[in-house]
Amino acid sequence: MEWIMALNSKVNAIVWGPPMLVLLVGTGIYLTIRQGWPQVSKFGYAMRHTLGKLREKGEGKKGEVTPFQALATAMAGTVGTGNIAGVATAIAIGGPGAAFWMWLSAFFGMCTKYSEVILAVHYREVRSDGTILGGPFQYIEKGLQAKWLAVLFALFGGLASFGIGNMTQANSVAHALETSFGVPRLASGIVMMVITGIVILGGLKSIVKVTEKLVPFMAIFYILGGIALIIMNIGKLPAALALIFKEAFTGTAAVGGFAGSTVMLAVTKGVARGVFSNEAGLGSAPIVHATARVDHPVQQGLWGIFEVFMDTLVICSITALSIVMTGAWQTGKSGAELTMIAFNQAIPHFGTFVVSIGLALFAYSTILSWQYYGEKCWEYLGGPGVRLPYRILFLPPIVLGSLGALNFIWDLADTLNGLMAIPNLIALLGLSPVIAKLTREYFIEKA
């Protein structure tokens, strides 16, 4: 077991190390230039055709759910513990400058997610029972003609779903409820398993009924708490922004309990947090975006731009600004505890409530969406017959995760999550002419 852990540690250092982060951001830069900077030139159009059409049921003949339901389920997966605990850890290690690099990676990540979603819808398959099978495994096989690479992606995603999308999230929920409300971890795990089972056993239609209501509520709940904090400290906002931009290029010297950081740490931690939070380039969210009822792939691609914008440039930014504005980053703390300290300084007692409830809701919604991602990965590998067995097997690890066991499996799942990006990025680069062609066609039609 020790040699497996050592091997995993080395692989993890590569898949989440500087070379991979450069590849992830570099792919985003290339796609941005190739597609004509859609996150800038089409941003207003994207907002009008996403926020302005939340209640529309979709125009396409194909698809299982509305465009917004697909987005909500995708955001349930991306808006998770990383938005609260992950951002705090990035700043604790990389300093305030990490926030700048998180924003930069998200800017290019908007085009990466836009491109992934376009390919997922373009190459999706409608099965005989009316369900949709779409995502990187589909566009890698059909577009790149690389079946073996598609199998690797599906295998990595299917295995990762038990850890990164299950046990780690259950642990975060259980920890938050135990810390703030004294709820026993076992009780949290059992309740989570039951309410998750009720939802996922009904398939995608059941999942989206929950996510389309839960995701807007939890996002607004956390955003309003963050806005209240910022307003109460509005005088410190200019200095906080100046510090973030300054430290992004100069690094941070040790202060009090803070360990100190360099510019490289700020860059790597900020970029990694942006990528890990919005999952642009990892290939997970396109799996559910592929199920949207749209006539043209670009219609759903616009929701991809909105997804990254909301996840990182809004929600993650609230966490980052709260930590820097209140000076909490100098306490030497990290993770969700650091975010709680920041919120409590501005909103005593109620701040802990906002962060704890936000963390619990974010993590639970991630469990629902990642169950679907994992199911589709296994369905690609083994056919529709794997759906029910997988849904049942997905439930017990929730209890295990809530108890805080199996650290090695969490580390392994983190590595698998990063490995998903490799075949996906190869496909994005190889199929970039297809993305450009579809983008041109759509906007010529709309002109």
Buried b (16+ CB within 10 A) or exposed e, 427-443: bbbbbbebbbebbeebe
- Distance in angstroms (rounded) separating the CA atoms of residues 309 and 361: 20
Domains of the chain with bracketed CATH: 15-446 (1.20.1740.10)
- Distance in angstroms (rounded) separating the CA atoms of residues 166 and 185: 15
Task: Check pLDDT > 70 for residue 149.
Answer: yes
Taking CA atoms, 165 is separated from 283, 363, 410, in Å, by 14, 9, 10
Task: Check pLDDT > 70 for residue 150.
Answer: yes
Q: Mean pLDDT score of the chain, rounded to an integer?
A: 87
Task: Check pLDDT > 60 for residue 254.
Answer: no
Phi-psi region of 211 (alpha: psi -120 to 50; beta: other; left: phi over 0): alpha
Could you say which DSSP state residue 53 is in?
G
Decide if 162 contacts 413 (C-beta within 8 A): yes
The pLDDT value given to residue 256: 41
The pLDDT value given to residue 82: 78
The pLDDT value given to residue 27: 95
Decide if 175 contacts 81 (C-beta within 8 A): no
Long-range contacts of 251-257 (CB under 8 A, 24+ apart): 251/95, 251/97, 252/95, 252/96, 252/97, 255/330, 256/330, 256/331, 256/332, 257/330, 257/331, 257/332, 257/333
The pLDDT value given to residue 1: 60
For 395-413, what is each residue's pLDDT tens digit?
999 998 888 755 666 677 7
The pLDDT value given to residue 190: 94
Decide if 403 contacts 189 (C-beta within 8 A): yes
Q: Which residues pair with 292 in a beta bridge?
A: 65
Taking CA atoms, 161 is separated from 77, 165, 167, 169, 170, in Å, by 11, 5, 9, 11, 12
The pLDDT value given to residue 112: 95
Does the global pTM surpass 0.85?
A: yes
Beta strands in 243-287 (DSSP E): none
- Distance in angstroms (rounded) separating the CA atoms of residues 211 and 209: 6
pLDDT level of residue 196 (50, 70, 90 thresholds): very high
Q: Which of 101, 88, 105 is closest to 326 using CA atoms?
A: 88
Give the other-Cβ count within 10 Å of 234's Cβ.
10
Element at 126 (helix H, strand E): strand 125-126
Q: Which of 271, 313, 258 is closest to 95 using CA atoms?
A: 258
For tokens 């209140």, what's the residue? 326
User: Which range, of 225-229, 392-396, 413-417, averages the lowest pLDDT?
Assistant: 413-417
DSSP assignment of 218-239 = HHHHHHHHHHHHHHHTGGGHHH
Is pLDDT larger for residue 65 or for residue 336? 65
For 49-75, what is each residue's pLDDT tens digit?
887 776 666 666 678 888 889 999 999
Q: Is 30 exposed, middle or buried (0-12, 13-18, 19+ CB in 10 A)?
A: middle
The pLDDT value given to residue 344: 87
